[in-house]
Amino acid sequence: MSPRADDQAEEVVIEAEDLRVWYGTERGPVRAVDEVDFTLRRGEILGLVGESGCGKSTLGRGLLGLLPEGAARDGALRFLGTDMLTLSRREQNRLRGRELGMIFQEPLTRLNPLMRISEHFAETLRVHEKGISKDEVKRRSLQALRVMGIPPTRFRAYPHEFSGGMRQRLMIALTLVLRPSFVVADEPTTALDVLVEAQIIRILHDLRDTFDTSLLLITHNLGIVAEACDRVAVMYAGKIVEIGPAAEVFRHPQHPYTRELLRSTISLSTTGLNFIEGAPPDLTTPPPACRFHPRCPDAMSVCATREPPALDLPGGSRAACWAAAARHDLVTLDAEESAPLEREELSVADEA
Amino acid sequence: MPTKPDPGLVAEARDLSVHFQLQGGALSRLLGIGARRVKAVDGVDVQLRRGEVLGVVGESGSGKTTLGRALLGLAPATGGTLTYHPTSGGTQEITRLKGAELRRLRTDVQMVFQDPSAALNPSMTIEEGVGHPLVIHGIASGEDLHQRVVAALERVGLAPVERFLSKYPSDLSGGQKQRAVIARAIILEPEVLVADEPVSMLDMSVRAKILQLMLDLKNDLGLTYLYITHDLASAKYFCDRVAIMYLGRIVEIGPTEEIFAHPRHPYTQALLKAIPEPDPDRMVPRDLPRGEIPDAAEPPLGCSFHPRCPVATPVCGWEQRDLKALLEEHWVRDETADYEAERATVGDLDGLDRPRTTARLAGKDPAAVRAVLDSVRAADPEEPLWGGVRAVEERHGHLEVDFVDGVDPPLRASHGVEVACVHYGADPEWPAEPGEPGEPGS
């Protein structure tokens, strides 16, 4: 756990290019993740936000290869330069746990009620690091517990003797004790109380100082992203519609979906209720061109006919939106293309 | 005590308690010992005024849901009174209602649940489910029933209605299900809605829609809401008044504006600071209280919040469990502390698990134990617990720590709100007199 060297900080841990994940359903293939591009550097925390059903969890699991039977991945996904999609199942298994970790939402269902915490740690370490000594197991476990704020006196306790927040800390400690390079945390604080959630967010935020881990934090809570993440990716209908530095994206959202998502969030500064009309589309039959156009208040006629390219914008973020591109003079649209889109009236029946 | 019925009052709890008996193991039940009681609601005084939205805010285990359920007669009161004043006049004592009377109450007081998927019967169509209350209470049938269901669905925005009548809950999105739950709640034309976390399981983008619907319904139908939530941000927008609950008690109550502009109780202040803020220009540095909500079966002595309180005073109720937590925290935080050696000196901490104002440390060498305590204190002299230590003495070969007897502060008026904290409304000397009549027999 040496302090990060500068060149190391620039090291790309995860690189996804044109990544696609789909699975078969009775109604046809669902393209839950569609042509996603992003990179994650060492020690970086990337927040992934969007409404339910936009493919956030599928992307998170797809990155780790934890997809159900019947799901497939395509495109390119490199972990520290290794192409993950061509690895055999066995080679993938070897990376998981040790190099790739996952933190789930419900900690109690992930801990064995009959095993002491010490046994959880011993099992985890022995499976992934063959031949590790007993003393080393204890030393590493206690250190992971300490970082998570769990007293060493509780090392031999059982899972039920811990509170909800403590259990989630245990899960995080069990993931991090292997010092993985990349961790996916899927809604890690959703089941927790406000104060405990804030404690966990702080721990996640401080992770890079201790473990040098890159983190993909999946959440529907934009406030958490603003507080804990370096960058944020906004997903809509299987695509990343905007990605960039968290402060920049929240201050100057470029994609109308990002902007409307922020406006509909109820925070302490909320003075009026705003919401996005309609609901995310069924991913078996997504809308053509820009998938957000049926709900977009800024939609132009081009949005319904041509898919917007993802373009780098001056503020440092990248967005796939015709309106944003035109605003920054990156594309030129003729009068017909930029005419406001005639939209069908949305009935409440289509509302979420 | 007969009082003039206040026309503005819909319901009123006075010193309301809902305690649950915990079943111990077979042996303890046989011997009648160790039966523990969870004080889910513990001596709550609160008024619900006609037409208002009263927010009850707290973390899980604070008793907010039990308080809401008590209003529907779903949680048996073990003490105090809970009266309901219908517009038709008269007064009903909810805690004493049974059978038919209780069912009649529910045509006036209805509930919206947190999880819409669990609140709707999966084998009933939306038409059957939403109309079910009318059937149960024998209010409508046939065409009348159908018409009322259609009207209720239209009111909650599930239109065109034909698209929903024959659907099953599983065909609906989360927001649509919650609309159906609300339709079922208003179909009896109630006066009061108890809404228990009605939006917390929904997507952010849907929450605002449901809250807007609830506000519209309130204005159109003249409803009164008891809005139960852990989400302060939505409470700030939605409520006229807010009650902050912690471990079965209301610790602060008052007009929403005042509570959010000038939070007084340290717990309210902590909750407000903990809300993640999406606007990067409004973020504040976090100063989080330690720990989590304690065991409601054996709450802390004195003020329940004192173990987590950053501004706790010597009289806030320090006890031996706090000393145990402090030692554990010390071993987590101070990397230079030699945990193995200090633990061996201090001895097993399991003896410090009961609420007592004298802590006897198990270590066999009192002088060495004292040295450890001194080093813990030196590592963080600002720790408020030390102010509550009255004496550290060697007795019977062990080191014992005596704490000052704590005060359990009652709700007291302070600048337009009521706060239960020794920092407000009390004599600045913090007189060591028992604040509120406790539960001596329990």
Q: What is the pLDDT along chain B (442 residues), one digit of tens a residue?
A: 445 557 789 999 999 999 998 776 666 666 656 667 889 999 999 999 999 999 999 988 899 999 999 999 999 899 999 999 998 888 899 988 888 888 889 999 999 998 999 999 999 999 999 999 999 999 999 999 999 999 999 999 998 899 999 999 999 988 999 999 999 999 999 999 999 999 988 888 889 999 999 999 999 999 999 999 999 999 999 999 999 999 999 999 999 999 999 999 999 999 998 888 888 777 666 678 888 888 888 899 999 999 999 999 999 999 999 999 999 999 988 776 688 889 999 998 988 989 999 999 999 999 999 999 999 999 889 999 999 999 999 999 999 999 999 999 999 998 889 999 999 875 544 444 333 333 333 3
**Nearest-10 crossing angle of helices B366-379, B339-346:** 130
User: Mind listing the pLDDT tens digit for each residue in A263-286?
Assistant: 999 988 888 888 888 888 988 889
- Structure confidence at residue B431 (pLDDT): 45
State whether A276 and B270 contact (CB < 8 Å): no
- Structure confidence at residue B27 (pLDDT): 64
State whether A146 and B211 contact (CB < 8 Å): no
State whether A226 and B280 contact (CB < 8 Å): yes
- Structure confidence at residue B3 (pLDDT): 52
- Structure confidence at residue B60 (pLDDT): 84
Please state, in angstroms and rounded to a whole number, the distance separating the CA atoms of residues A205 and A188.
13
Residue A251 within any structural domain of the chain: no
State whether B159 and A349 contact (CB < 8 Å): yes
Token duo for residue B63: 């008793």
Q: How many residues does chain A have?
A: 352
A251 CA to chain B: closest CA distance, Å?
A: 7
CA dist list (Å): A254 to A46, A249, A258, A266: 18, 7, 7, 20
State whether B203 and A220 contact (CB < 8 Å): yes
Please state, in angstroms and rounded to a whole number, the distance separating the CA atoms of residues B234 and B260.
12
B138 CA to chain A: closest CA distance, Å?
A: 30
- Which of B203, B282, B321 has the most A C-beta neighbours within 10 Å, making it the best mutation to test the interface with A? B203
Instruction: Provide mean pLDDT across the span A335-344.
Output: 84
- What does the DSSP assignment read for B80-141? EEEEE--TTS--EEGGG--HHHHHHHTTTEEEE-S-HHHHS-TTS-HHHHHHHHHHHTT---
Token duo for residue B371: 């040295």
CB-based contact B262:B251 (threshold 8 Å) = no
Residues of A in contact with B212 (CB under 8 A): 273, 275
CB-CB: which of A224, A273, A347 is closest to B276? A224
CB-based contact A243:B253 (threshold 8 Å) = no
- Structure confidence at residue B210 (pLDDT): 94
Please give the model's pTM, rounded to 2 decimal places: 0.89
Residues of A in contact with B163 (CB under 8 A): 349
In the numeric block, the tokens 């609830």 are attached to B214
What DSSP element (H or E) covers B29? helix B26-31
Question: CA of B159: which chain A residue's CA is closest?
Answer: A349
| Residue A86 DSSP code | G
At A241, phi and psi to the nearest 5?
-90, -20
Residues of B in contact with A221 (CB under 8 A): 204, 276
Q: Which domain holds residue A140?
A: 113-176
Q: Determine the residue type at B364.
A: K
Query: B310 in helix, strand or coil?
Result: coil
- Which of B161, B177, B204 has the most A C-beta neighbours within 10 Å, making it the best mutation to test the interface with A? B204
A268 CA to chain B: closest CA distance, Å?
A: 5
State whether A52 and B260 contact (CB < 8 Å): no
Residues of B in contact with A163 (CB under 8 A): 292-293
Question: CA of A226: which chain B residue's CA is closest?
Answer: B278
CA dihedral B392, B394, B396, B399 (to 10 degrees): 60
ipTM of this complex: 0.87
In the numeric block, the tokens 């039977």 are attached to A69
CB B391: neighbour CB atoms within 10 A? 11
Residues of A in contact with B234 (CB under 8 A): 266
CA B324 to centroid of chain Cα atoms: 26
Task: Point out which residues pair with B252 in neighbouring strands.
Answer: B244, B419
State whether A275 and B173 contact (CB < 8 Å): no
Contacts of B22 (CB under 8 A, 6+ apart): B35, B36, B37, B38, B297
Whether the bond into B160 is cis, omega within 30 of 0? yes
- Name the nearest CA neighbour of A182 among A104, A96, A83: A96
Query: A61 in helix, strand or coil?
Result: helix
Please state, in angstroms and rounded to a whole number, the distance separating the CA atoms of residues B222 and B350.
55
State whether A275 and B282 contact (CB < 8 Å): no
CA B116 to centroid of chain Cα atoms: 21
- Structure confidence at residue B5 (pLDDT): 58
- What does the DSSP assignment read for A107-160? GGGGS-TTS-HHHHHHHHHHHHSTT--HHHHHHHHHHHHHHTT--GGGTT--GG
Please state, in angstroms and rounded to a whole number, the distance separating the CA atoms of residues A324 and A314.
11
B274 CA to chain A: closest CA distance, Å?
A: 6
At A13, phi and psi to the nearest 5?
-90, -50
- Structure confidence at residue A271 (pLDDT): 86
- Structure confidence at residue A5 (pLDDT): 46
CB-CB: which of B160, B203, B331 is closest to A151? B331
- Name the nearest CA neighbour of B17 among B248, B251, B199, B318: B248
CA dihedral A315, A317, A323, A325 (to 10 degrees): 80
Domain count, chain A: 1
Where are the CATH 3.40.50.300 domain residues in chain B?
Answer: 7-108+205-298+409-435
Pairing of β A182-186 and β A100-103: parallel
CB-CB: which of A142, A196, A273 is closest to B208? A273
Class of domain B7-108+205-298+409-435: alpha beta
CB B426: neighbour CB atoms within 10 A? 18
CB-based contact B225:B195 (threshold 8 Å) = yes
Helix (H) and strand (E) counts in chain A: 11, 12
Average pLDDT, chain A: 89
- Structure confidence at residue B24 (pLDDT): 65
| pLDDT band per the 50, 70, 90 thresholds, residue A309 | very high
